[in-house]
A and B are shown apart, each in its own frame.
Chain A
Amino acid sequence: MSTPSAHEVTQLLRAWSSGDQQALDKLTPLVYEELHRRARYYVALENPGHIIQTTALINEVYLRLVDFRGVTWQDRAHFLAVCARMMRRILTDFARSRHYQKRGGAAQQVTFDEQLVVASEPSADLVALDDALTGLASVDQRKCQVVELRFFGGLSVQETAEVLKVSEETVKRDWRLAKLWLLREMSGGEERNAT
């Protein structure tokens, strides 16, 4: 399959958001390619914990994939939400297909440099997270969206607030509580109050 142009990606995203499931199949390779590009980049480094970038990664990806010129400003919020949802679907499927398991703990130390300066976060199990997120949506739809936009969409608090048309403070509070809720959900066995 030839690589779709940025304009075509835009069309595909539109099609997918209006229910065309096949559109997602055409988008998936693009995200995979990006994923592997990033991975190669990290492999080439001495220490994956030492990675840093100043631009918002996901926004860069979108800019590369999507022809935003074809998108009106009013549409942009909707569009970012669609992108975030696409990321969630594709990355979760990817994790599932690789039998991607929760790793737990910090990334292994792989450098002869003794120090791990920036600690890697414990990786979230994307499959479990996806399930938990579906559960969260039934309790609090907006908190689910906040997580989708921020974690899968890579949007900043400000951008998330713009997309959801709420204050940044609300986004921060939602984010804080959603994380607690998801962690509890993902920790499984713990008691839950099913009122």
Chain B
Amino acid sequence: MQPERWKEVEHLCHEALERDEGQRAAFLQSACAGDDSLLREVQSLLAHQKQAEHFIETPALEQAAMDLANGERDSHSSDTTPRLIGRMISHYRVIERLGYGGMGEVYRAVRADDQYQKLVALKLVKADFDTHFVLERFKNERQILASLEHPNIARLIDGGTTGDGLPYFVMELVEGQPIDQYSESHRLSTVERLKLFRSVCSAVHYAHQHLVVHRDLKPSNIMVTSEGVPKLLDFGIAKIMDAEHFPRAIEPTLTAMRVMTPEYASPEQIRGEAITTASDVYSLGVLLYYILTGHLPYHLTTRSPHEVARAICEIDPEKPSTAVNRVEEVPGADGKPVRLTPEKVSSTREGQPERLRRSLGGDLDQIVLLAMRKEKDRRYSSAEQFSEDILRHLEGRPVLARKGTLSYRATKFVKRHKAGVIAAILAILTLIAGMAAIVRESRLERAQRARAERRFNDVRELANSLMFDINDSIANLPGATAARKLLVTKALKYLDSLASEANGDPSLQRELATAYQRVGDIQGLLNSQQNVGHSSDALESYHKALTIRETLAASSGANPADRRDLAFVYQRLGQVCALLNDFTGARENDQKAFTIYEALHAASPNDAKLTLSLGSSYYALGRLFSLNGEWAGAVQNDLKAIELYDQVSRGKPDDSTARYALAAGYREACYNVGKAGDRPKALALCREAVGINEALVAANPNEVRARLDLAAAYSDLGTTLADGADPVAALQIWRKSLANAESVSAADVNNARAHVAQALAENQLGLLLTKTGQSGGLDYELKALEIRKKLFTDDPKNKGRQEAVALSYATLGDTEQILALRPRTRRSQQLRHWSQARSWYSQASESYQSLRSGGALRGEEAGEPGRIAQEIAKCDAVLGKKQSPVAAARAQ
């Protein structure tokens, strides 16, 4: 044939094979377009398609060896039979042969000296086996096997050697049908099959309790008597007859090869690993699958041993309820192929395919698949547990099999989390706690490394989702802070345990660092919406992240993203140091972050994210100048930040991140410009911020951050107005600020930032009311004091909170003084106000004292203690008291 012609034939064959059988003829007719010889050539090849499926799929050497084996077996079995019938083996007279196979032959025999002429099954082991080994093994196992007394287990009665030295076993004779055939011929319903199967489970469990593993459970080993009682044959025989021990045994290089009934063999058996009770549970799963559906679990196109092995070890079986839809040809009991269809398998079960599918879907699918898990520790822990789950299904109770999966739990979580955040998180945490424990345990065993790694990844994934998905999904849900606290505590535990395993895995280290940062954010940053107010804990988490990031950025494989991430941690550290009044630390960290960002931004000036980051670096530095009372330096940095934020905001008008940042820049600038004395400019800047923040709230009225930022904008405007001697306008603005803060703190009692904002607004509002001659100011201030005291108790290392308490005391003192000095106030009342004022001032003084001794009294407020001392002296003068030496000393 011409090569071109052959190419054409080949091409058409492939094309035709890709089409459904019904369409091939039509396709070829049109493709050959009248070229009859071409058509005949292609058709004559395609005619062999069916045969080709199984043709030469087994390698030649193996095929030749099998044929050779069959020839030997045939000659062997045909000449032994006549010799034994009628003969005595020990006390047993051989009556007839029941069957034979590679392992040996089975005879019906009778105990000749027995009064009752009891019939038994006598299993004669072939000479090919290592007789000595089998006998030794039998002696060891005999006691145990003979002690197995269970109504569903065929008893091992005796064993020994024949006169020819061949080992034999004598067993209880069970006359009946294999369980699969019995179920078919009796047309058992699904429920009846399940009940029958539970008896099998009880026998297997009983044997397991006696430390006997069957190792070869399959329908032909489970006979059902005419009374419907299943009996398990050959318990423990597989162990005695271990395939490794036959003559001239396979060499060590071939130990990976194992012999068994592959469809029922567990993955560990296929791999030649240790066989345990879990292996029997797997085989029971396959058995149930087969009995319920009429199909074996793996839908194989060829039946080559390699494919079966691969399927068992790697492929997840389809659900039983799906398997019943299969149409396939399988070898029947008589060796002839049988065509299975949904109608055929249903006819001996539930009648109609739909009914069968419904009876299997849901519980039974999951029960069968749970028993058949590839990893043995993920299966039912025992045959009994397996059986009990079936019972639960029969009784309509929820089954274990449907609770176990991660996705099941996760789905449930997502569904529930809006209703009960804490409950849902607890559920997830319980789950992870279990998994983390498994990771630790399994790490100890080398053989289970693969499993450990899988679990490890599960934990990693969950820890991540805990910190990211779950936290994010509840971020704006009011009432979520308590849940978040819990989340943080638990997540940290897992992260710490993961960290000890993370060496040498950069991607895991990056994940860990990010997770620690997230924990830090949640723990303490005031401007993080999700903070739970524990700055010092946050510091610790950020340091953990920093250690990892520094190593990553310094490593040879570092990329710009690693440097950017490092800068980010420095920045976070800077922020939290500032919160803790560690200004030296804050400046160091902020400066480091700035240096990195500046370099990265210079390299890619159009990177919006980097531009925002650099802006935030300027902002942070500005804040430090401000805290130090260096207004000019602060303003310079703020304006730089505003410029960068504005740039991004204009480029991406819909990006709220840039808008939030820009507003924050304006607020900061407003404050600093105001302090520097330029009130009109400060007012203009505030109004810019208020405009942006109002728009953000309008766009996202339920967003916590939008409301709190607006509250902050109002408070800056209020302060500026009050300083500018417009207390009436200021009052209005403070009320608005309070309303926004309160809306958040009322919904989420644990949101620290909302409470800080609320306290500030109440304090200022109170003072302004009093100053403008109105009543009710004191009440606001007392409420503010209560909030601030609580905030400080929650986070005792947070100097800002301590200072806020001091400020509240001072404001209360000021207010009492104003009240004392109000016209038409009675003398006695005046004295009470003075006395109150003095008391507040002295508490303020103590607070400041403690702050100062802690080295944390920032520039702007540095003058306050001095003022308080003067106020105290004033009060004392009015009250006619002499200064006590102690108070005098404190006032210095």
Contacts and interface: CB of A to CB of B under 8 A. Distances in A.
A116 B260 CA distance: 12
Given A115-B220, A179-B52, A36 B331 contact: no
B303 interface: yes
Contact of B64 (A53, A91, A140): A91
A187 B50 CA distance: 14
A153 to B, nearest CB: 8
A109 B335 contact: yes
A53 B260 contact: no
Contact of B61 (A35, A116, A177): A35
B59 A152 contact: yes
A64 B255 CA distance: 13
A45 interface: yes
Interface string B1-39: 110011000100110010000000000000000000100
Interface stretch (B101-109, B440-448, B604-612, B748-756): B101-109
B169 to A, nearest CB: 14
A15 interface: no
Given A37-B248, A57-B62, A124-B63, A147 B69 contact: no
Contacts of B218: 113, 115, 117
A176 B48 CA distance: 11
A195 B5 contact: yes
Interface stretch (A67-75, A100-108, A159-167): A100-108
Interface string B242-285: 01001110110110111111111100001110000000000000
B59 A110 contact: no
A183 B257 CA distance: 31
A164 B140 CA distance: 54
A58 B60 CA distance: 9
A14 B77 CA distance: 44
Contact of B13 (A114, A180, A192, A193): A180
A58 B248 CA distance: 19
Contact of A123 (B2, B63, B101): B63
A151 B48 contact: no
A113 B59 CA distance: 26
A122 B40 CA distance: 27
Nearest to B129: A44
Interface stretch (B305-313, B770-778, B832-840): B305-313
Interface in B93-130: 98-103, 105-106, 126, 128-129
Contacts of B73: 43, 48, 110
Nearest to A174: B10
Contact of A44 (B54, B102, B303): B102
Contact of B331 (A40, A56, A116, A182): A116
A53 B168 CA distance: 28
A45 B216 CA distance: 13
A26 B652 CA distance: 80
B37 A111 contact: no
Interface string B42-72: 0011111101101111111111111111101
Find the residue from B40, B62, B74 having the highest chain A CB count within 10 A: B62
Contacts of B101: 46-47, 110-113
A124 B59 contact: no
Contacts of B46: 180
Nearest to B49: A180
B181 interface: yes
B69 A87 contact: no
A195 B48 contact: no
A61 interface: yes
A191 B57 CA distance: 26
B6 A139 contact: yes
Given A39-B65, A116-B331, A120-B66, A52 B265 contact: yes
A54 B270 contact: yes
B41 A195 contact: yes
Contacts of A139: 1, 6
Interface in A41-96: 41-48, 50-58, 60-61, 63-64, 87-88, 91, 94-95
A168 to B, nearest CB: 15
B236 interface: no
B333 interface: yes
B262 A118 contact: yes
Given A176-B17, A176-B52, A180-B46, A126 B64 contact: yes
B5 A94 contact: no
Contact of A60 (B63, B253, B308): B253
Given A116-B331, A176-B17, A183-B52, A121 B57 contact: yes
B66 A193 contact: no
Given A111-B101, A126-B60, A190 B69 contact: no
Contacts of A182: 55-56
B796 interface: no
Interface string B325-350: 00000010101000000000000000
Contacts of B256: 53-55
Contacts of B77: 110
A187 B263 CA distance: 33
A195 B55 contact: no
Nearest to B69: A42
A187 B55 CA distance: 13
B66 A45 contact: no
A137 interface: no
B645 to A, nearest CB: 54
B309 to A, nearest CB: 5
B317 interface: no
A184 interface: yes
A38 interface: yes
B574 interface: no
A51 B59 CA distance: 13
A47 B59 CA distance: 18
A47 B104 CA distance: 11
A16 interface: no
Contacts of B67: 100, 103, 123
B167 to A, nearest CB: 14
A61 B250 CA distance: 12
B250 to A, nearest CB: 7
Contacts of B271: 54
B303 A183 contact: no
Contact of A54 (B55, B98, B181, B257): B257
A8 interface: no
Given A44-B243, A107-B66, A183-B48, A115 B308 contact: no
B236 to A, nearest CB: 16
B56 A111 contact: no
A42 B13 contact: no
Contacts of B305: 51-53, 118
Contacts of B296: 117
Nearest to B59: A154
A141 to B, nearest CB: 11
Interface string A129-157: 10000000001100000010011111000
A146 to B, nearest CB: 11
Given A46-B101, A121-B55, 12 more contacts: A35-B61, A43-B128, A45-B259, A48-B66, A48-B70, A54-B258, A112-B100, A118-B263, A123-B63, A152-B60, A173-B14, A180-B46
Q: Which 10 pairs show the lowest CB-CB distances between chains A and B?
A: A112-B99, A38-B65, A42-B69, A111-B101, A154-B59, A183-B48, A113-B220, A39-B68, A53-B257, A46-B101
30 contacts: A35-B61, A35-B65, A35-B68, A36-B68, A37-B248, A37-B250, A40-B69, A40-B246, A42-B66, A42-B68, A44-B129, A44-B247, A45-B103, A48-B70, A48-B102, A51-B259, A61-B61, A100-B67, A107-B66, A110-B70, A112-B105, A113-B218, A113-B261, A114-B220, A118-B263, A121-B303, A124-B56, A154-B60, A183-B48, A184-B48
Interface of B: 1-2, 5-6, 10, 13-14, 17, 37, 40-41, 44-49, 51-52, 54-70, 72-74, 76-77, 98-103, 105-106, 126, 128-129, 178, 180-181, 218-221, 243, 246-248, 250-251, 253-254, 256-265, 270-272, 296, 303-306, 308-309, 313, 331, 333, 335
